[in-house]
Chains A and B, each alone.
Chain A
Amino acid sequence: DVKVTQSSRYLVKRTGEKVFLECVQDMDHENMFWYRQDPGLGLRLIYFSYDVKMKEKGDIPEGYSVSREKKERFSLILESASTNQTSMYLCASSETAVSGNTIYFGEGSWLTVV
C-alpha cells in the first residue's frame, strides 16, 4: 500500500516559534504537496515540488517555506508561527500528470498556535 506519513498528528506551538512539519512517502513519487484545510475555505495549496531540491509556490505561500533534500521527504517550515496559521495541514504525493495516477494523502497534522 502507498503510504504518506506525517510525523506529527497534533502540535501546539507558541507565537513566533519556528515549526517543522515532516512528510515522507514510500512510492518514489515525483510530486509532493502541502495543503492547509480550513472550514469553509477547503484545501489550499501552500507549496509543491516536482523533484528533489525543486519547489514551487502554491496559492498561499506567505509565511511558509519548504525543503526537499530527498525525493521521499518534503518538509513544511513555518518560520515564525502566528495564530492565523492554526489549521490542519495535509501532505500529499503523486506521480506526474502524464502517468495519470492518483494523489495520496497523509493523515494530516493539526497545528494550534497560541
Chain B
Amino acid sequence: KQEVTQIPAALSVPEGENLVLNCSFTDSAIYNLQWFRQDPGKGLTSLLLIQSSQREQTSGRLNASLDKSSGRSTLYIAASQPGDSATYLCAVRPGNRDDKIIFGKGTRLHILP
C-alpha cells in the first residue's frame, strides 16, 4: 500500500533563505507527483505536477524534483518570502487503474521576517 511521508511537520526559516521540503513515498510505481500549497482555512492550490517520466519541474522560485527509484521528491523554494508561509503538501497518483490520490500530511512552513 502506497504511503506518503513529509518530514518535518513544521519548519521555520529566516526570510531570504533557500529551503527544501521533502516528500517520500513507498511504492515507486506512480503516474505523477504533485505539490500543493494550503493557506490557513483554505483549499489546496496546485503548485507543480511532475509526471513519472520527468525529473523536475520549475515555476518561478519553485523547483520540484522527482527520484522514483528512491521514492523521493523535493520542493526547492528560492529566496523565501513571508508570503511563502503556508502548509505544503505532496500527493502521489498511484500507477494502477485506481485513481485515488494519496496525500502526505504536509509541512507547515513559517518564513520569519
- Chain A contact residues, CB within 8 Å of chain B: 4, 31, 33, 40-43, 45, 48, 50, 58, 88, 90, 92, 94, 96-97, 100-108, 110
Give bound CA distance, A94 to B31, whole Å.
Answer: 13
Q: What is the distance, in angstroms, from A11's C-beta to the closest C-beta of chain B?
A: 14
Q: Which residues of chain B are within 8 angstroms of A88 by Cβ–Cβ distance?
A: 41
Q: Does B91 sit at the interface, judged by CB under 8 A?
A: yes
Give bound CA distance, A89 to B105, whole Å.
Answer: 15
- How large, as a class, is the contact surface on chain B? 20 to 34
A-B contact count (CB 8 A): 54
Q: Which residues of chain A are within 8 angstroms of B34 by Cβ–Cβ distance?
A: 102-103
Q: What is the distance, in angstroms, from B105's C-beta to the closest C-beta of chain A?
A: 4
Inter-chain contact B43/A90, CB cutoff 8 Å: yes
Q: Which residues of chain B are within 8 angstroms of A97 by Cβ–Cβ distance?
A: 31, 93-94, 97, 99
- Chain B contact residues, CB within 8 Å of chain A: 31-32, 34, 36, 41-46, 49, 51, 89, 91, 93-94, 97, 99-101, 103-106
Inter-chain contact A103/B42, CB cutoff 8 Å: no
Give bound CA distance, A41 to B54, whole Å.
Answer: 30
Inter-chain contact B46/A102, CB cutoff 8 Å: yes
Q: Contact partner of B41 among A43, A48, A108, CB < 8 A?
A: A108
Q: Which residues of chain B are within 8 angstroms of A58 by Cβ–Cβ distance?
A: 100
Given known pairs A48-B100, A96-B99, the reply for A110 and B51 (CB within 8 Å) is no
